[in-house]
Chains A and B, each alone.
Chain A
Amino acid sequence: MTACPMHAMAATRRWAVLAFLMTATVGAATWGATPEETIAGGARRVVKLYGAGGVRGLEAYQTGILVSPQGHIVTVLSTVLDSDGIDCVLDDGRRYPATLLGADPRRELAVLSIAGEELPFYELPPSDPPPAGEAGKPAAGVSVGTRVFALSNLFGVAVGDERVSAQHGVVAAIVPLEARRGAHEAPYRGDVYILDCTTSNPGSAGGALVDWRGRLVGMLGKELRATATGVWLNYALPIDEVARGYRNVLGAGSELSPPTPDPDGLPYDVALLGIVLVPDLLDKTPPFVESIRDGSSAARAGLRADDLLVAVNGRSVASRAAVQQALAGLADGDPVRVAVIRDGSIVECDLGPKPQAGRKP
């Protein structure tokens, strides 16, 4: 083991910290609500929803969040709502029939309405149409490491006036949702909050994600598996996206969902770039270049046979299928940049604009 420079650094850092401590005035901080108060306040605005299900072993319950004094509830669009009678039970045990007002299929968000009075609710942030390319960015104040409470009726264990269950954790990562349920890709592609607590449970979908200041910061998603790793995802839709979806459904400040490229359409033909990959015979075939067509943009960029593609525009590609998906996710004309392994080193190649499908390069 060679000398560890960090040992010295760590020691120095500690002394600096102690010095800082001498002058820090911790007493000046303002104290907020206790965790107990935060959870109690959040749970009053969260409802238990009961609807269709039972067939094929699917649960018939989930969670919703009250977001307006008129009794509007946001929740996750799911088969639970495929029912004529959706039942909504409040924190205090009040029970109302709920009506489905509409849904935003891209965000898989639904809005319900109940005819209750004196309803506690969370005010959603104003949602101006997001600037181009900014869709799905997280709300201000939430970052990796933010402590959160998840409030939901997981496993349907809370009944009647029993309060929904509270879990605690932190926002583990903020990344675009690339997930599937069974063989179906999730339609939403914006950023989500990955959580370090297990919220991927029956009934959790539609629950509230609340920070330790008591602010609603997101809505818990449904049970999905990550496309890349196959692990179950514990995630929440950021509050700004919830607000956009809600207003989208109500038609106020109507936002047309920006057209998202569909990576699951027809597989993009990498041959348009002049790249011939090895035949796709295995469940996961590594994207080795078999040959490069003369005069193609790949040839001009210096790609060679036996190169192994590892990234397309920064996105990792471990298989032939992943290469096609990454290319399909780009718009025609977008610059294409690939990274390959050649002779034990990474080589970056610029392929120019992505050629339009149906045209020969």
Chain B
Amino acid sequence: MRRMAGHPLGTGRAIGVAWLIALLAVALSSVSPAADDIDGVGLQEEAVFRAAAAAVAPAVVRVEVAGVSEVGLGGPAEASPASGPSSGLVVGAEGWVVATSFAVPKDATQAVVTLPGGVRHVARVTGRDLARGLVLLKIDLPAGTPPLPVMEAVPRAMLSVGQGTLVLGRAWSASEPSVGVGILSATNRAWGRAVQTDASVSPANYGGALVDLEGRVIGVLAPLPAETAGMMAGTELYDSGIGFAVPLEDILRVLPRLQAGETLSPGIIGIGYASRDPFTAPPVVATCRADSPAGRAGMRVGDTIVEAGGQAVTRVAELKHAIAPLYAGDTLDLVVERGEARKRVAVRVELVAMLPPWRRPVLGLVPRRVGPDAAGNPEPAKLPEGDGEKPGVTVAWTWPDGPAARAGIVSGDRIVSVRQQPGEGGAEPASLDVSSPAILGGFLSGLDAGTVVDVAFDRGGEAKSIPVALAAQPTAVPIGVPTTEVDPATTAVERLGAAEIVRPAWAVLPAATAQAPLGVLVYCGQPAGVAGIKPSRAAEIDEALKREAERWRGAATRYGVAVVLPQSSDPQRWGREDIATLARTLDGLRLRRAIDPSRIAFAGSGAGGAFAWLAAEALGPAVRGVALLDATLPRQATISPTEPGRSRSVLIGSLPGAAVNRIDDDRRRLEAAGYPVGLLPDLAGDGLPTETLCSWVESLGVL
């Protein structure tokens, strides 16, 4: 057996030579026609693979969705991987099959399952495991059908990195499973929810089986849930040497719940951490909503979590390892250290699937604009010293009839600190020195509307303090937003090109300084081809865009807003690639003008409105507002519920006689998800409400 040494395949611990030969014997008896066909270790291993694959093949099925439509931003030529056949694994003899939510998306209630014999069955979705991206299907087997074969699960504790593995799927061909070979790369991935293999895992075998060399099932092949991989759906990883499987043992543990029709959700405790880097930062609570499991359990901003589920934790990542395998409804015991004295406090949180939508609470004051600091931080932690500015947040104007205005705060007041009034139970109330609008906003985001806050401020050298009751962020565009006196002639209207952008945006750029940075409004119109311009005439499109830009000059100057008019790369439609282009365009804008990061909004009309929403979702919390003019959201557009630090103001405007039902529907969906939704007056008349939109951008800075 000299040639075994240095062989590419590690055979792992338990599989000794005896097993290899034993399985070879199976192969000899069942697969290979003759013993002298086996000549060499490599071919003997091949026989082992075949035997293991043959053992599990009867439980691997084909899964296809039926009756699900697809509307994408992409062109028809860009096939979505989700549209093709995928695989599944039998987990119950009476017709239970596990597949991935990749193959059976959330709007599908049934699927077509093809059994190894080639017979198709309709299967209904009975349960979903949203934490692991799996779905349980049930086939009603006709009377007299033999039970489906169920495979033995490898106990997770018996797995070891380096052992040989096979991947089986049935998408390529219904009559014969596809086979791939590799090793087990890791036994604990995706915060404890998956194991990893280097065998080829792709949309074609998602839902299929990860198999050991004894012909037992290790797990069900699956893309990682999006939030762990930080990618669209984990599908980008195929052909990369990385594949994941959810251990079958874990699936069998929750199988009765899925069979009973439950939807298992990832558990949320409802806190935000002070640092974004989970691997270096200690788990310090930065936000903690009162209506979250953590808030109900008595956790507070500033607490440091030191124990989770009986295990010591020192990093955010370790805490995630404790939380991720749990489902909503599970409980988790935590120990936190609190205050200067580092008092240890034990709390028990009951995880939930979803927090109630968060409605951003505000004082109703609009601070003076602040730009990014020299270090490139979006908002400076402290204002630069030595320029005469004292620490604090200076009020530019107050929202008409808002809490701050009613309490008597006026333009020019400089807020220096805020303090939550003592609540029930005599708990120490939170208090904070205010050095920037971002810090004040972060403090307010942890409170609920109705909370009374003592606002300490400086008015002409005199220190004052007034109690102000927080209100939900207003939805309307206020009347009487202050304007500047700048001459519109000083405003530049120019192309905003950048490397690799084929069709550059036009931009309206008022003058700006570091002390008076600009707000940003990206306005996406109808694609040129749709608007009636021949797509071949690039120069004509460019010219039309320039004319359109001129219409914004007045309003943009008065409110100090940079207006960007991007073009779609395909003249017929806005596409996903335009989102990346838009991000680069905004980077280019930051090089030319100082920008106030708290006043960035997207707007669009028609197809451009749908694009504006999708682009805002893709670019995240940086976009503080979206205006939809005569536009409806794509039906499949995600509307992520708001949470502290992630909300945006939405404006909806419609032409008279527009599809009011669809627009009302959008409005209800957005409001249910926690967004403040305002209505624009009718868009009839001269069309674009440039004045209203630019004053709205200024008002987005409200705190």
Contacts and interface: CB of A to CB of B under 8 A. Distances in A.
Contact of A145 (B22, B26, B50): B50
A230 B81 contact: yes
Given A145-B49, A168-B8, A29 B35 contact: yes
A226 B85 CA distance: 11
Interface string A13-43: 1100110110010101111111100000000
B67 interface: yes
B684 interface: no
Contact of B172 (A6, A13, A29, A194): A194
Interface stretch (B38-46, B469-477, B488-496): B38-46
Contacts of A319: 70, 83
B84 A10 contact: no
Nearest to A170: B181
B21 A172 contact: no
B3 to A, nearest CB: 6
A283 B71 contact: yes
Contact of B93 (A5, A21, A31, A282): A5
A71 to B, nearest CB: 32
Contacts of B38: 29
Interface stretch (A196-204, A247-255, A268-276, A329-337): A196-204
Interface string B115-155: 00010111010000000000000001000000101111000
B70 A172 contact: no
Given A28-B36, A147-B42, A346 B200 contact: no
A22 B152 CA distance: 25
Contacts of A284: 69-70, 80, 83
Given A4-B150, A5-B93, A145 B46 contact: yes
A112 to B, nearest CB: 29
A297 interface: no
Contact of A346 (B76, B121, B202): B121
Interface in A258-288: 282-286, 288
A316 interface: yes
A24 B93 CA distance: 34
Given A21-B25, A147-B45, A231 B204 contact: yes
Interface in B178-207: 178-182, 199-200, 202-204
Given A147-B42, A172-B178, A200 B239 contact: yes
Contacts of B65: 318
Nearest to B52: A145
A12 interface: no
Nearest to A227: B79
Interface string B69-103: 11110101111110111100000111000000000
Nearest to B149: A6
Contact of A13 (B26, B42, B77, B118): B26
B179 A172 contact: yes
A220 B11 CA distance: 29
Contacts of A31: 39-40
Given A18-B22, A170-B179, A212-B46, A32 B40 contact: yes
A339 B67 contact: no
A232 interface: yes
B70 A212 contact: no
B297 interface: no
Nearest to A147: B46
B659 to A, nearest CB: 15
Contacts of B81: 229-231
B122 A341 contact: yes
Contact of B92 (A2, A26, A168): A2
Interface string A178-220: 0010110000000000101110100000000000110000000
Contacts of B238: 231
B26 to A, nearest CB: 5
Given A24-B21, A282-B69, A282-B70, A231 B202 contact: yes
A227 B172 CA distance: 11
B18 A196 contact: no
A288 B67 contact: yes
A253 B658 CA distance: 68
B335 interface: no
Contacts of B68: 286
A1 B255 contact: yes
B43 A147 contact: yes
B88 to A, nearest CB: 14
Given A7-B152, A230-B79, A346-B120, A316 B180 contact: no
B43 A212 contact: yes
Interface in A313-336: 314, 316, 318-319
A24 B28 contact: yes
A198 B199 CA distance: 10
Contacts of A230: 78-81, 83-84, 203
B256 interface: yes
Contacts of B74: 283
A311 interface: yes
Contacts of A115: none
A308 B76 contact: no
Contacts of B182: 196
B172 A173 contact: yes
Contact of B70 (A146, A170, A228, A283): A283
Interface in B198-223: 199-200, 202-204, 215-216
A172 to B, nearest CB: 5
Contacts of A234: 200, 239
B171 interface: yes
B640 interface: no
A286 to B, nearest CB: 4
Interface string B47-63: 00110010100010000
Given A24-B25, A26-B21, A144-B178, A32 B46 contact: no
Contacts of A18: 22
Given A145-B46, A229-B85, A318 B64 contact: yes
Q: Which of B8, B149, B200 has the most CB of A within 10 A?
A: B200
B177 interface: yes
Contact of A6 (B28, B46, B150, B241): B150
Contact of A229 (B79, B124, B149): B79
Nearest to B43: A212
A180 B78 CA distance: 11
A156 B203 CA distance: 28
A58 to B, nearest CB: 18
A295 interface: no
B55 to A, nearest CB: 8
A314 B175 CA distance: 11
A308 B203 contact: no
B68 to A, nearest CB: 6
A30 B44 CA distance: 11
B500 to A, nearest CB: 13
Contact of B35 (A2, A28, A173, A196): A28
A226 B84 contact: yes
Contacts of A10: 55, 152, 215-216
B204 A341 contact: no
B672 interface: no
Contacts of A318: 64-66, 83-84
A31 B41 CA distance: 8
A169 interface: yes
B122 A344 contact: yes
6 contacts: A20-B28, A229-B79, A230-B203, A231-B202, A231-B238, A284-B80
Interface of A: 1-2, 4-7, 10, 13-14, 17-18, 20-21, 24, 26, 28-35, 144-147, 168-175, 180, 182-183, 194, 196-198, 200, 212-213, 225-232, 234, 282-286, 288, 308, 310-311, 314, 316, 318-319, 339, 341, 344-346
Given A14-B22, A147-B42, A339-B120, 11 more contacts: A6-B151, A24-B25, A30-B36, A145-B50, A173-B172, A196-B200, A200-B239, A232-B239, A284-B83, A314-B118, A344-B140
Of all A-B residue pairs in the complex, the 7 with the closest CB atoms, nearest first, are A229-B84, A196-B180, A230-B79, A284-B70, A173-B172, A228-B84, A173-B178
